[in-house]
Structure 1
């Protein structure tokens, strides 16, 4: 395909992906569509034990090896746009730009294939499932397909920047994300006779209030830490003190020490506050992805290639959002880039939209970034 055909093709595929969203680890049709497109252009697909998602390869098949990654899953959001290609599935929407990621990286693969004989090594292209789960990155890592990769690049759409902007910054760009569940157990009784029971609602409420002091009193005032209680459930009628209250929430941190401290304080507060009220507390902790950690030297390189491709480079904004690309960066040097896709409603909003004008410039940038990275490693 020539440049014009690639540009037209990835817009068409972007529309298809947007209209056919699939949730984490359910991306069977999405994977089949990606596979079909790659096979039509003679692009090698690595045989891996993945139910959804895939990894392709372009180049010599020999080191050096770099990787580029996109995610392919959608969200359980009901779309509320007027797009001609809006979601055809109730309750599911590409409200985080993964359709854009997939289509633009597909374009990058096409461009790399055109110049395959000029590549100074191998580019592995990851179409990753389950980022929103999160944890799809771990599924890819478990296959061993990235064991010999020397640097990895990822991208994410950003509604904070216009088309033509690449936001890049060394260090943490997104936060470590953990989820916790807490069950406060008391003793149920009649609401008129609280002395005959142990009220878990009072204990859980005291915890909700106290836990807010962790960030303000235990963390460095200049640190970017956050604790949010997002789910509080207890009781089912007006005149009964229940046996149990269920809490759920999330923590967001940028530094490992803060991540460990916040977790320990949540454990301590829940245990001792429950005990003070005569109740007990059980915590179920779910470790999520760590904070992204963009490599300093490769970040400078990514900025240079962006400028050479006519993109305006801005620093990535502070964010406590999570991104499982960080799992790759624990093993491999890497850079996570934000791509301006037009000012719009924020990610995960039912009115979220992408300007398709960003597709081909992004495809070109990611192709150039990976090709020049091979040359950089060869030096």
Structure 2
């Protein structure tokens, strides 16, 4: 199923793979600001002889046409960094940009896909079909994938594959399970409005802080009492802004939170219930409430045949012992918008190693990866594409 020439090519360029990742790590760019990364990727693919184009305002789509006609498989890597201050001051390749950091591994994804592209170019004469490379901006704000789709990234694509480096799992381990993998991730904002006044005269006021506090205390019953316990769901209130000073009863309160689940009907239900709970809570105290519900990423649901192919490729490339099962996470991933356009799957590649201090959580200021995992990810990208196009 796999091609040994690809494995050898990845091994031969392992040093370059690390160098690319370190360069990108030291030069992080936030969502929709990935201009330098876009230029670097575009030039790299062009030098490989891969036809490519830039998307607006950032991002790159490359296409490698094999020697024989066939299907088209897309490989995706995200490129954006986070507004996180890097705390790993001892790293020679630490971020040069204050307050910006590749704290989620997107630098690794970009580097792995570039070397995968190089490996696939070397076996172009053995490819039966086309490989499309999607270097995506703005995953961290859940808008990049949709923008790329709107700019034609998935036109003519038969299958799509992506991955995420995973610090919670041991280096080199691979998980790709059929079914739900990442949850849908939505944002809600609720504004409670009452009547402000002097803190010594509550009888003349309608306290927005009481409304908001009551809502926060009761909203968890949406999950615990209105949803099937076998359907995972999370409602989190992450921020509450209320009041102006200690002796003024608040007229306004703003609550911000997120909703995570896997089932579309559960998603619809929670949205409706948030409005019901907010409105009834406000009415109870004589105020009003207004809900803004913003749908972010969809749930990432791995298509069964694609997930099986990824597992088979990983088992043959790295051994059966490299496979493991990662439970679905309530984290969000906008790879879901690519899966709306074609079947495919999303894998996790372990990069956690306590001896190298690479088990910090994603989005933490000390996040780092065991760079031994880079070759695993690069080969998985390339071998998946080859196996999908050449399978009989």
TM-score band, normalised by shorter chain: over 0.9
In structure 2, the gaps of 5 or more residues are 1-7, 354-358
Name the residue aligned to 1:372.
387
Q: 2:99 aligns with which of 91, 102, 110?
A: 91
For the residue of structure 2 that corresponds to 1:324, the secondary structure is coil
| 1:361 to partner: Cα distance | 2.3
For the residue of structure 1 that corresponds to 2:169, the secondary structure is coil
| 1:327 to partner: Cα distance | 1.0
Distance 1:188 1:49, change over 3 A: same
| 1:2 to partner: Cα distance | 5.3
Q: 1:50 aligns with which of 48, 52, 56?
A: 56
Whether the aligned pair in 1 keeps the contact of 2:298 and 2:336 (CA below 8 Å) is yes
Q: Does 1:296 align with 2:272?
A: no
Distance 1:103 1:202, change over 3 A: same
Map 1:170-249; keep pairs closer than 5 Å. 170-249=178-257
Whether the aligned pair in 1 keeps the contact of 2:82 and 2:103 (CA below 8 Å) is yes
- The two structures have a TM-score, normalised by structure 2, of 0.93
| 1:49 to partner: Cα distance | 4.1
Distance 1:166 1:59, change over 3 A: same
In structure 1, the gaps of 5 or more residues are none
Map 1:107-118; keep pairs closer than 5 Å. 107-118=115-126
1:251-277 superposed Cα distances (whole Å, 9 cap, x missing partner): 000111111111111010001110111
Q: 2:287 aligns with which of 268, 275, 279?
A: 279
| 1:100 to partner: Cα distance | 0.6
Name the residue aligned to 1:35.
42
Name the residue aligned to 1:125.
133
Name the residue aligned to 2:341.
331
Whether the aligned pair in 1 keeps the contact of 2:192 and 2:254 (CA below 8 Å) is yes
For the residue of structure 1 that corresponds to 2:337, the secondary structure is helix
- The two structures have a TM-score, normalised by structure 1, of 0.96
Question: In 2, distance between residues paired with 1:245 and 1:282?
Answer: 11
Whether the aligned pair in 2 keeps the contact of 1:6 and 1:110 (CA below 8 Å) is no
1:166-199 superposed Cα distances (whole Å, 9 cap, x missing partner): 0111001010100001110111100100111111
For the residue of structure 2 that corresponds to 1:172, the secondary structure is strand
Q: 1:14 aligns with which of 17, 21, 44?
A: 21
| 1:224 to partner: Cα distance | 1.2
For the residue of structure 1 that corresponds to 2:373, the secondary structure is helix
Name the residue aligned to 2:65.
59
Instruction: Specify which structure has the higher proportion of strand.
Output: 2
1:311-346 superposed Cα distances (whole Å, 9 cap, x missing partner): 511112231000000111112101000001124101
Name the residue aligned to 1:308.
316
| 1:153 to partner: Cα distance | 0.3
